[in-house]
Amino acid sequence: MVKSAIVIGAGFGGLALALRLQSGGVQTTIVEARDKPGGRAYHWERDGHMFDAGPTVITDPDCLMRLWRLSGHDMAQDVTLIPVTPFYALDWPDGTRFDYTNDDESLFKSIAALNPADVEGYKKFLDYAAGVFHEGYEKLGTKAFLKVGDMLKAAPALAKYQAWRSVYSIVSSFVQDEHLRQALSFHTLLVGGNPMTCSSIYALIHKLERDGGVWFAKGGTNQLIAGMVTQFERIGGILRLDDPVEAIEVVDGQARAVRTKSGFRAEADAVASNGDIVHTYGLIEGDSRGPKQVKALKKKRYSPSLFVLHFGLEGTCPDIPHHMILFGPRYKGLLDDIYNNGKLAADPALYLHHPTITDPSMAPEGCSTFYALAPVPNMGQADVDWEKDGEAYADTIIDTLEARLIPDIRSRIRTRFHYTPADFKGDLAAHLGSAFSLEPVLTQSAWFRTHNRDDKISNLYFVGAGTHPGAGIPGVVGSAEATARLMLE
């Protein structure tokens, strides 16, 4: 059994893994490059507003609560979760509005307003989602796929649910209304997948939300990260911030130590990385495994990036719910631009996050905090000078919000800034500025994804979006459980 471990990166995956290891008796040190923990769940405080970098949607809260229970603690002593309803308000340019919730009576009424025949179709889709949830999440979400045989064992279930089909294709086989097809398929975008090509197994997200609800951490997602850090340090873990790892020293086929920019060097029985997979293999020193894997990984398909506009407004916005999806005039065409054409769309679809409707403390009294997120091509697909063009694209988003939702937005803005694919690359060492690592298509899932334990360097492990099962809080927390099980064996 591993007695000491170093975890590179204090994102959700790294913290979840470190909590499991430390709770299991492994002396664990996390080394984080940035000045704050969180990874993609970083945060900023500006002009009295609290801005979460994301993610902001918490599903399956029990997968988080279990991290505290491992050592006999209760997450509630560190984190307060608040239910969000509706889960999302969905809005289209033609004026259609659909509130997505797990209240059956309300949901069926909303579906019937779009197309009465789709109520029964939706119920059948829900049965399908429940099946892939059981097979894909409950059975396989925390299982490490180290051998091709592991994939073959899962093949019958994948075949039963036609995993080779896309989420959009499966949804369309159950419901007829185009608005509803988009409402039931957009979720894959939250983990970096194209609804038109992402495996239908990802329909499980719908069941995950229906059963576990959608939640928000009081004070922001940053407070969930802070709670995880508190619990990790409470049980004896060590967190080292603001010190990027520059090398993973490999000797005789084993990871022996990590070395940081400051000159800090730490030896351990095992090294695990929550960092970008291409970047991590590039850190390997003393073994040809690193360059070979970097070359192989660069040939794979990577998820899009994100453009996120953070802004604070004077006054409150009581009519805008916590989560909104503002669909654009195109769906498939926009997805083609993002995933295939490398085109920065002038008509973006937006995910609008309005935390102050749930927790007013995230803004000065009488003010509102928002972010508007637009999926955009990664830097390998679109040649955009984000330093030059970022402000103009922020204005495009403001134009959309002004026309669709907040007519006086420009006169009310008291602070704003944006985060681009170049920031994902610079701050997170994300390959091509991807926001979700490898694109979640069937041929890059499970065994085809970066393994939770390296095939050659047997004490080098991976956790997070680039390994199985993939992106999203439940995904990376599930990867931590799979990886921890390997390390604790």
Q: State the angle between helix axes of 167-174 and 118-132 in degrees (0 to 180), rounded to the nearest 10.
A: 140
Average pLDDT of span 420-442: 97
Higher pLDDT, 445 or 168: 168
Q: What is the DSSP letter of 257?
A: E
DSSP for 24-91 reads TT-EEEEE-SSSSSBGGG-EEEETTEEEE-S---B--HHHHHHHHHTTT--GGGT--EEE-SSSEEEE
Query: Which helix (H) or strand (E) segment is 211 a member of?
Result: helix 204-212
pLDDT score, position 353: 98
CA dist list (Å): 351 to 48, 160, 190, 231, 373: 23, 33, 10, 31, 5
* Exposure class string for 155-169: b at 16+ Cβ within 10 A, else e: eebbeebbbebbbbb
Backbone angles phi, psi at 475, to 5 degrees: -65, -50
Least confident of 144-158, 359-373, 396-410, 441-455: 144-158
What are 440's two structure tokens?
């979640």
Least confident of 163-167, 169-173, 251-255, 402-406: 163-167
User: In the block, which residue shows the tokens 């993609």?
Assistant: 40
Task: Decide if pLDDT at 150 tops 80.
Answer: no
Task: Decide if pLDDT at 313 tops 80.
Answer: yes
pLDDT score, position 195: 97
Residue type at position 377: P
Give me the percent of the chain exceeding a pLDDT of 70: 100
pLDDT score, position 447: 87
pLDDT score, position 82: 97
Task: Decide if pLDDT at 1 tops 80.
Answer: no
pLDDT per position as a tens digit, 270-309: 999 999 999 999 999 999 999 999 999 999 999 999 999 9
User: Shortest CA distance to 446 belongs to which of 140, 53, 125, 129?
Assistant: 140
pLDDT score, position 138: 79
Average pLDDT of span 427-447: 95
The SS3 call for residue 385 is coil
Number of neighbouring beta carbons within 10 Å of residue 445: 26
The SS3 call for residue 184 is coil
Task: Decide if pLDDT at 154 tops 80.
Answer: no
